[in-house]
A and B are shown apart, each in its own frame.
Chain A
Amino acid sequence: MQNLRVAVDVGGTFTDICIMDETTGLIRVEKTSSSADPIDGIMTGVEKAGIDLSKVALFSHGTTVATNALITRRLPRTAMVCTRGFRDVIEIRRANKEDLWDTYKDVVPPYVPRRDRLVVSERVDAQGGIVATLDEDEAREVARILKRRNVAAVAVCFMNAFMNGANERRMKEILMEVMPGVPVSTSSEVLPEIFEHERFSTTVANAALSPVVVDYTSRLGKRLQQDGYERDLLLLHTGGGVMTPKSVEDFAARLAGSGIAAGAIASKYIAELCGFRNSIGLDMGGTSTDVSLAYDGQSRITKDWFIEFGYPIRFSSIEVLTIGAGGGSLAWTDEAGSLRNGPQSAGANPGPACYAKGNRQPTNTDANVVLGRLGTSLAGGKITLDADLALQAVREGVAEPFGLEPHAAADAIIRVANANMSDAVRLISISRGYDPRDFALVAFGGAGALHGAAIARELAIPAVIVPPNPGVTSALGCLLVDMQHDFSESYLKAAADADATAIEEAFLRLEQEASERLAHEGVASKDVVLQRSIDMMYLGQWRSLAVAAPSPVVDIAPLVEAFHREHQREYNFRRDETPVSLFRINLKAVGMVPKASLAKHEPTGLTPEPKTRRDVWFAADSAVETPVYDREALPAGFVFKGPAIVEQLDSTVVVPPGTTAEVDTYLNIIIRIEGEANV
């Protein structure tokens, strides 16, 4: 019987494997070190976990292979064929810089160097009319040269091709004829949307990644198959769904950023299990924290993102805000005497001072040790932290320069870190028109549960959820996804001129394409869910807002009203007298993967004893003797009041004074924040 579901999240340091037994709903987790070839780490982990692959019904995977290939530029030689006169669109970009003031900090170079960007004569105008058909002699000449250069992939990027892709298609045919087997991405197929740099940049990333990810997925697929796995390998993409290797061939760049989405998906799922449709995910690791937001059961989606500044990948992506604050972030004093926290980090090596590997500067982890919030024996005794070194670092780095007691200094370090993370949460919530009081905070990652309650209090978030395995929550995210593809078409018209019939036809076109792709991936039509939306704006505005669209679209007026409402919610004003225009038609196509339910645990009514008690500082001035629980000993239904500390293999949960915690039937700890909070 195939009753196992396996999800693998490969990160820089660890490969996490999450195994779920469909019959019991029980989950277990295997953590191994990542390897140079990620596939080795995965197979080692599978073996260590004792997984019989022939019993696996679903194997899903979040991978950093695409992201790393882009960042390290370990890409196969990729060429670009451009409209004559537009060889440098991806180099000119939008010409801006990430760091406005530092003249010695540059935007990284484009994925295809100038020498491999060739041009042909052709032109389409803004309305889609052919100004010049493709010059086929030139096209063949270019193909011949690229063949001589042995390029491994080609991106065809022509001006206004989103309006008319005929010249691009012809170019692709010629390339495939002259250099069969070399993957060719055209901008009109990859992303039929206006604005050349964004479209070309996405197309180039797609072309360059195609050989990389196809090689990777086919090697992994084979290894899994050899060991008995019979189904399709499923790959997590940034949109928050999975796709099969068949789709990866054509949309390789959807895997860029794959890993980041996993945490956001898990966070949303866990919050819903606990009854919260609105949630903010706080995934705090060693060097950084990822913040995500789900509202009414939907993750926030953005098309405005990149792996490296200047090179947008305009596929729908779950919106994740990353800031440089983690357990290893350094606390330091700048020249003008201000206490700072991050973004520099001691990383995993040498790590915090208490790791005793040579770093003497205090980190958030050291401050947590000094305050007693973090114990000195972690991971079931496998890791021992040196409390004296932590104290020394905090004393020398912060306490002495500011004339503070060491505990006050440690408290100051943590409060600055929490304030920085709270600012990040504000950016993704309050400044998008969401009120944190309507949300639950899901705190995970190795360090999230140490800080979650304090951040929630700062933001007046009423509840904090700590999942059962906070350190491997992202892997769980890979396990909980559906097949998903996103489609779009430009539709540039004023609402007054918009034609409901034409819009309906466009939706039907996209739905046809979506159904075909999902069928190709083996999804039964009964499992297909289609979500329509239209990007709209006030006439004259430059950014659009997505508004859900009905099926069928019969009238424009309700769409316009929905847009006014959404504008009011997000920006706090609406302009009813102003004409509205339509920008883009979007379709999200989901192939539902039947979900197994997580195991439920009946309340036992038992009251576990703390394994120990220790002094913990929750404020700068005094310590409180605090019970320390072992998480594995906490049964469902157990309710306890702060102060308390809960220790587990991969994390430590801080339950501050004035809060109440409860273990729910899925063994999540839900901390209710009480008392006066500051919005």
Chain B
Amino acid sequence: MSEQQNLDPVTFEVLKNSFITSVDQMAEQILRTCYSFVIYNRDFSSALHDAEGNSAAQGNQDIAVHVGTLHFTCKDVIRAFEGDMHPGDVYAINDPYAGGTHFNDVRLIRPIFVDGRIIAFSQSNGHWSDLGGSVPGSFDVAAKEMFKEGMRITPIRLFDKGRFCKDVAHLIASNTRDPASIIGDIHAQAQATQVCEREILRLVGKYGEGTVKQGLGAVQDYVERAMRQRIAALPDGEWETQDFIDRDPAGNEGMIPIKVKLTIKGDRAIYDFTGSHPTIGSIYNSAFGATFSAVAAGMKTFFPDLPLNSGFYRVFEIVAPEGSIVDAKWPVAVTGFLMPFEKIMNAIYEIWSKIIPERAIACAFNLEYLLTGGRDARAPEKPIFMFYDWLPGGWGGRNGMDGCNVTTACFGTGLMAQPVEGQERANPILTTEFEVLTDSAGPGKWRGGAGVMKTSRMLEAENTVISYICDRERAIVWGIEGGLPSMPHGLTLTREKTGRKEWLGATFSDVAIEAGDVFSRPTAGGGGFGDPLERDPQRVLADVIDDYVSVGRAAKDYGVVIDPVDPEICAYEIDAKATAELRRQIRSERMGWLETDPAEISERFKAGEIDALDAVRRHAVILDWDTGDLLPVSTEQFRDMYRKRSAAGWQ
């Protein structure tokens, strides 16, 4: 507050906008010059920091997942090089245990000097395509410790007074599967930080060093002040919920809880993760920095108009039990931190949906990464290929609006889906299907958005393995306010030789595949919002005409009976009388469906009488989707939450 009072309103507003423009210019430059296709598809972020490393501005289009982590890595670099920093220096860091995200996110940081004094830092963070480790892309799901995952970069010097430290850069590049691109990205990112430096020095030239320094602090105070006012305007109170990771591969059956309790007290928000499970035996753990980021990103969703900087981070506190899944310590594997990350984000969505109902939103689909690597046998020299793919899916239903169809995962809404034509040129893969998946959306008065199905066939390839990083095969995407869950995630492999379909599920690593094998991956739709029996039958009709919903599930999930009169010309009719009768019947029976013995549901599933959607949406039963065997602990956990989120919202 005090700082801004010393700045006149025009200078303050101009500096605030110029800081944001300076980081947007970094983003523009990195997009145009990067080598990593992951960066190119917008998995990157840029920031301007004050001399202490606090964030003063972040890019408008930065990926959500990096929010709230850049100041940690900047501060770690300052700790490492304090007293030994010079104009023209650029440092690098990717350390998740120092507030970073995962090894692939490598941050380049440049100190900005005026007359020998540091006044700011610029930071460019991008997801490199590979950092070594045991699998292509550096995502080994089987890792329990970081040593299998990839290269940890604690603060290093990459440019020394403007001189490129080739030796260090090549050491890093040589430990990856794509050395040429890594060197390219180092140059692209280092250059981007210089773009920001140029802008800041321009501002110093115009307004003077003191004013710019003051501005860097004032913009943080400004955001803090705005946030505190908004929180103070809300009633004090406590809200709590939990979400789950599917399982601990090293433990027993049963989902892994992440508990969140929000306390609003005056102008502060406290997020307490007490009761969350200890770290698990896979890469699905989150270090504190990533947990902090998930809280910031989840909360920011409810205050979309405010600029992001450290002022925003000052209004909330986090209580995370040490050694829990939300506070993993070195050397616990954390490359899959996005799994707990998205659970935290969605739990925060649920909590804030109660506090600010006009922005309510149900659970979104779970991100998924597919990694395939081997030798491309289409060319005589059989080069290494890395097919690294991620899919969009459905977002949660909202208060008065259906969820968004086929949208990037909530951890990074800026991330773009890749073009199939580009993938087919670069990899021995032919995609046979990439379409909206009918009935994938969680039913609700406002349904979730629809997910997709992507099916691909391996062409000529050798020594090829496939890994899959996903979740919510059991902790299925949920609805709120009476809305229903959507569907399980999981990949199916069809072997060409045997014709057998193998359900590999949502998480697996290093499965060998051969030319002709076909793999199919659905993404879930979003969870529903509100009781599906209250959905306007006209909306159900439109969904049936467009094939987002089948005639069969229109009846089962919504109780709307539709007569396909002449589908060729899109002529369908609602049978109003049968609809009223069916809705009455579902209303009277559905509480009972929830009480059905789960073992019976398992038997009926095995007998082919019901499908996975019936099991999940009607009975809240979680099965092994391959064998149909009951998962009793997971079912109990899932039913408990279903009663609170779905059944409690039915009239």
Contact = CB atoms under 8 A, between A and B. Distances in A.
Interface of A: 85-89, 91-97, 99-107, 113-115, 123, 125-126, 131, 145, 148-149, 159-160, 162, 194-198, 334-341, 402, 404, 412, 415-416, 419-420, 423, 426-427, 430-431, 492, 538-543, 570-573, 575, 578, 678-679
A419 B546 contact: no
A336 B13 contact: no
Nearest to B412: A100
B187 interface: yes
B448 to A, nearest CB: 13
B436 A103 contact: no
B32 interface: yes
Given A104-B398, A162-B421, A339-B10, 18 more contacts: A85-B434, A95-B406, A96-B408, A96-B413, A100-B413, A103-B361, A103-B395, A107-B404, A113-B546, A148-B569, A335-B226, A419-B14, A419-B18, A420-B17, A541-B34, A542-B34, A543-B33, A571-B33
Contacts of B642: none
On chain B, which size bracket covers the interface?
35 or more
A243 B401 CA distance: 43
B42 interface: yes
13 contacts: A91-B405, A95-B392, A97-B408, A100-B64, A102-B305, A126-B425, A145-B569, A336-B226, A419-B18, A427-B24, A431-B28, A540-B181, A573-B187
A151 to B, nearest CB: 11
Contacts of B205: 678-679
Contacts of A573: 33, 187, 191
B435 A85 contact: yes
Contacts, number: 213
Contact of A338 (B13, B64, B392, B422): B13
Given A95-B408, A431-B28, A197 B419 contact: yes
A423 B421 contact: no
A195 B434 contact: no
B9 interface: yes
A335 B304 CA distance: 15
B225 interface: yes
Contact of B401 (A104, A115, A341, A426): A104
A538 B180 CA distance: 11
Given A86-B435, A103-B359, A416-B10, A96 B33 contact: no
B334 to A, nearest CB: 24
Given A95-B416, A412-B10, A571 B32 contact: yes
Nearest to A567: B33
A340 B414 CA distance: 26
B433 A85 contact: yes
Given A149-B569, A335-B229, A542-B34, A114 B436 contact: yes
B33 A92 contact: no
Contacts of A430: 25
B219 to A, nearest CB: 9
B415 interface: yes
Interface string B14-28: 101110010011001
Contact of A415 (B14, B191, B546): B14
Contact of B421 (A91, A102, A194): A194
A202 to B, nearest CB: 14
Contact of A337 (B29, B40, B225, B305): B225
A338 B9 contact: yes
B61 A100 contact: yes
Contact of B300 (A89, A101, A159, A412): A101
A289 to B, nearest CB: 15
A88 B425 contact: no
B392 A92 contact: yes
A570 B28 CA distance: 12
B615 interface: no
B550 interface: no
A336 B434 contact: no
Given A103-B398, A336-B226, A419-B18, A194 B407 contact: no
Contact of B414 (A100, A104, A419, A570): A100
B430 A131 contact: yes
A423 B304 contact: no
Contacts of A198: 419
Contacts of A492: 425
Contacts of B416: 94-96
Contact of B9 (A101, A197, A402, A679): A402
A92 B418 CA distance: 10
Nearest first, the 7 A-B pairs at minimum CB distance are A95-B392, A336-B226, A85-B433, A542-B40, A101-B304, A94-B416, A102-B304
B194 interface: yes
Given A94-B417, A538-B184, A336 B432 contact: no
Interface of B: 4, 8-10, 12-14, 16-18, 21, 24-25, 28-29, 31-35, 37, 40-42, 60-62, 64, 180-181, 184, 187, 191, 194-195, 202, 205-206, 222-223, 225-226, 229-230, 300-301, 304-305, 359, 361, 392, 395, 398, 401, 404-408, 413-417, 419-422, 424-425, 430-436, 452, 455, 545-548, 568-570
Contact of B435 (A87, A126, A538): A87
B25 A431 contact: yes
A148 B226 CA distance: 58
Contacts of A678: 202, 205-206
A95 B417 contact: yes
A160 B35 contact: no
A543 B32 contact: yes
Given A431-B29, A573-B191, A88 B9 contact: no
Nearest to A574: B187
Nearest to A163: B421
B570 A115 contact: yes
A89 B34 CA distance: 26
B424 A338 contact: no
A86 B229 contact: no
A340 B14 CA distance: 10
A229 B417 CA distance: 50
B10 A415 contact: yes
A540 B184 contact: yes
Nearest to A398: B9
Contacts of B452: 88, 92
A87 B437 CA distance: 11
A96 B184 contact: no
Contacts of B60: 100
A572 B406 contact: no
B187 A575 contact: yes
A419 to B, nearest CB: 4
B408 A431 contact: no
Given A95-B408, A126-B421, A339-B9, A541 B413 contact: no
Contacts of A543: 31-33, 40
B438 to A, nearest CB: 10
A554 to B, nearest CB: 28
**In the complex, which of the residues B9, B222, B424 has the most CB atoms of chain A within 10 Å of its own CB atom?**
B9
Contacts of B35: 538, 540-542
A125 B427 CA distance: 12
Given A114-B547, A148-B569, A335-B226, A412 B9 contact: yes
Nearest to A119: B435
B436 A88 contact: yes
B124 to A, nearest CB: 13
Contacts of B225: 336-337
A92 B419 contact: no
A101 B184 CA distance: 31
A99 B422 CA distance: 26
A100 B436 CA distance: 22
A99 to B, nearest CB: 7
A101 B301 contact: yes
A107 B73 CA distance: 34
B166 to A, nearest CB: 12
A181 B434 CA distance: 32
A195 B184 contact: no
B418 to A, nearest CB: 8
Given A95-B407, A149-B570, A194-B421, A542 B42 contact: no
